[in-house]
Structures are given as C-alpha cells and as structure tokens.
C-alpha cells in the first residue's frame, strides 16, 4: 500500500509535549467561576471539539451547579456559551507558549517532504486558535497543507470522522486507505478508525501520559516504562492499528 498522506493532531502529537495548553485554558476559564478542575478530568475527553468538551464537563453536577447559580441561568446553552467564551480568551497565551514542535516531528516532516507525502491536520481547536498557531509552527519548519476544525464540518468533531474525511477530500484524495492518522488521544484514534484510515497513537508527550517533557524525563526509567506500557494498552484498546513511541517512528511504518 502506498501512503499518500499523514494527518496529525496538534497538542500532544506534533506540538505541546504533554498537551498542556488545553489544560491551562480550561482550568483558568472554570476558575473564574470558583471551580477547580482536576487535570485528569479534563484529559478524559481531550480531542473533542472544545465547545463539546465544555458541555461534557458541565454535565457534572458539581461543576454545573456553582456556575449556573453565579450566572443566574438554567439555560444549558447560555452557561456553555459563557464558559466556552472564557476558555477561548484564556487559552490564547498558552497556545503560543506551548507551540513547540515535539521531538521527532522535524525528522518526520523532512522524510514526508522527501517522499512527497502530504501533511494535514485535524483538531479540537477552533479556526482562530489554529490561525494563531500557524505562524509559530511555520517558523519551526511546519507547514501543513490542510488544517481542518469542526467549524468546517458543521460542528461535527471527533470521534466522528467528518474532519478527517474533509481533510482527505481537500488533499485531493479519493479514499482513506493510503492515509495515516496520528494522534495522542483516544478520540484521535476513534476518528481515524471511523474514517477507515490507518490509526496511529503516539505515546511520549501524549495526553494519555499527560506530563511535560521535564516531568517525564525526571521519572525513574521503570516509571517511564510503566506509563508508556499503560498508554499503549489504552491506544490499542481504542482500536489503534499501530502505536509508536515518538512521531518519528511513523517513518518505519511507512517504509514497511
């Protein structure tokens, strides 16, 4: 099979080791209403469209009640819109600060360029967030040809295949059989599976481990290994075709 395109997620996959920007953004947005969010709670659904992610967290009565009381509203849409707007405001600075290419990304990009394999992205971020990221990653040599968010698919995000389907279409491809979808969350894997693409999970720096590079490398080797084994198991349980340690390990998959 000839690989024609690699479609990547953003935070935790190609940039932002440990996928920290969404955590920072959500924590600060909810903190405005006196709600302290556990990072583990946020990470459960990372990869979703961010508005849908806000809705999901507001389903928790312990989160919903204090916020709805402060806003004096029982309208789910109003409360969701208000918190989501706050998230959009708080994440901007974190986006730029964490938009550093992860280890192995430059190696993969050089290989894909040499082999004339297209690069695209899908994301739970909004178009405005992606536009904010693009100049920063461009200065590091990352120039994805196509960038798709749920705003371009009528609000349909992961784990549905709509964003990946559109990315494939905009790349000028007629099917997903020669497409690799790379991500660091369970929803990334499900998106790839739903589209019929080759779904690949990246372990190091992923949302499933959820640690900065400094935090992770400071751990004893035995603990690093345990975390990587657990992440691999979660990826495969979600339907991943392959799981790699770093994104550069996608190269031997393509060669094979």
Same domain, 27 and 52: yes
Same domain, 226 and 123: yes
Same domain, 80 and 109: no
Same domain, 76 and 188: no
Domain end residue (candidates: 54, 79, 97) = 97
Same domain, 16 and 26: no
Domain end residue (candidates: 66, 97, 128) = 97
CA distance 176 to 192: 9
Active site residue 50: yes
Same domain, 45 and 106: no
Q: CATH number, domain at 80?
A: 1.10.150.240
Active site residue 9: yes
| Count of structural domains, the chain | 2
DSSP state of 202: E
pLDDT tens-digit profile, the chain (256 residues) = 799 999 999 999 999 999 999 899 999 999 999 999 999 899 888 878 889 999 999 999 999 999 999 999 889 999 999 999 998 888 888 898 899 999 999 999 999 999 999 999 999 999 999 999 999 999 999 999 999 999 999 999 999 999 999 999 999 999 999 999 999 999 999 999 999 999 999 999 999 999 999 999 999 999 999 999 999 999 999 999 999 999 999 999 999 9
CA distance 161 to 208: 21
CB neighbour class for 232 (10 Å; exposed up to 12, middle 13-18, buried from 19): middle
Same domain, 152 and 171: yes
- The one catalytic residue among 4, 9, 49, 228: 9
Q: CATH number, domain at 231?
A: 3.40.50.1000
Domain end residue (candidates: 97, 121, 143) = 97
Provide the residue range defining the domain that includes 140.
5-20+100-255
- The one catalytic residue among 45, 49, 50, 181: 50
């Amino acid at each position: 099979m000839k690989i024609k395109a690699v479609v990547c997620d953003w935070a935790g996959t190609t940039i932002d080791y440990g996928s920290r920007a969404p955590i920072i953004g959500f924590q600060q947005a909810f903190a405005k209403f006196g709600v302290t969010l556990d990072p583990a709670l946020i990470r459960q659904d990372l990869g979703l469209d961010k508005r849908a992610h806000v809705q999901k967290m507001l389903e928790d009565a312990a989160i919903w009640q204090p916020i709805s009381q402060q806003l004096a509203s029982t309208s789910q849409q109003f409360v969701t819109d208000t918190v989501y707007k706050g998230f959009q405001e708080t994440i901007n600075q974190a986006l730029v600060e964490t938009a550093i290419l992860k280890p192995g990304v430059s190696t993969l990009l050089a290989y894909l360029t040499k082999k004339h394999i297209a690069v695209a992205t899908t994301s739970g971020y909004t178009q405005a967030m992606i536009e904010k990221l693009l100049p920063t990653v461009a200065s590091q040599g990352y120039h994805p040809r196509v960038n798709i968010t749920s705003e371009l698919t009528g609000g349909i995000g992961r784990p549905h295949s709509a964003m990946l389907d559109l990315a494939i279409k905009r790349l000028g491809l007629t099917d997903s059989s020669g497409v690799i979808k790379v991500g660091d969350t369970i929803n990334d894997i499900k998106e790839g599976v739903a589209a019929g693409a080759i779904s690949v999970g990246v372990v190091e720096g992923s949302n499933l481990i959820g640690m900065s590079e400094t935090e992770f490398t400071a751990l004893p080797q035995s603990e690093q290994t345990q975390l990587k084994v657990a992440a691999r198991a979660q990826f495969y349980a979600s339907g991943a075709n392959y799981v790699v340690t770093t994104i550069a390990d996608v190269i031997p998959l393509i060669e094979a």
